Amino acid sequence: MTVRENLAYGLTVRGTKTIQIAAVTNEMLDLVSMRTRSKSLPMELSGGAQQKVAVARAIATGSHLFLLDEPLGALDALVRAELRYELKRLASDLGLTVIHVTHDQEEALSIADRLVVMKRGRVVESGKPADIYFSPKSLFAENFVGETNLLEGRVIIVDGEASFVEIGNQRIRVVNHGRKVGDHVVVSVRPESIALARPTRVEAERWKGKVSHVTFLGSITRYKVNTDDGLELIAHVPVTSGEEFQLGESVDLIMDLEKHMLLFDYPAEGLENETAVE
* Domains detected in the chain: 3-113 (3.40.50.300), 191-255 (2.40.50.140)
Given pLDDT bands bounded at 50, 70 and 90, which one contains residue 126? Answer: very high
| C-alpha–C-alpha distance, residues 156 and 183, integer Å | 8
| Mean pLDDT on 9-21 | 91
| Mean pLDDT on 117-135 | 93
Given pLDDT bands bounded at 50, 70 and 90, which one contains residue 204? Answer: low
- Per DSSP, 239 falls in state G
Query: What single-letter amino acid sits at 162?
Result: A
Structure-model confidence comparison of residues 13 and 256, the more confident one: 13
| Mean pLDDT on 80-106 | 87
**pLDDT > 70 fraction of the chain, expressed in percent and rounded:** 96
Mean pLDDT, the chain, rounded, equals 89
CA distances from 153 to 80, 92, 140, 141, 163 (A): 40, 45, 18, 20, 12
Using the CB atoms, write b or e for 209-230: b if 16+ within 10 Å: bebeebeeeeebbebbbebeee
| Mean pLDDT on 201-226 | 87
Cα dihedral angle (247, 191, 196, 165), rounded to 10 degrees?
A: -120
Please write the tens of the pLDDT for every residue from 31-89: 888 899 999 999 999 888 898 898 889 888 888 899 999 888 777 878 788 888 888 88
DSSP SS3 for 32: coil
Beta strands in the chain (DSSP E): 65-69, 97-101, 115-119, 122-127, 149-159, 162-167, 170-175, 184-189, 194-197, 206-216, 220-227, 232-238, 250-255, 261-265
| C-alpha–C-alpha distance, residues 52 and 86, integer Å | 9
Q: Name the nearest CA neighbour of 180 among 204, 157, 146.
A: 157
Q: Name the nearest CA neighbour of 247 among 215, 278, 220, 277.
A: 215
Residue 253 · residue 206 · CB < 8 Å: yes
| C-alpha–C-alpha distance, residues 52 and 54, integer Å | 5
Type and span of the H or E element at 18: helix 18-31
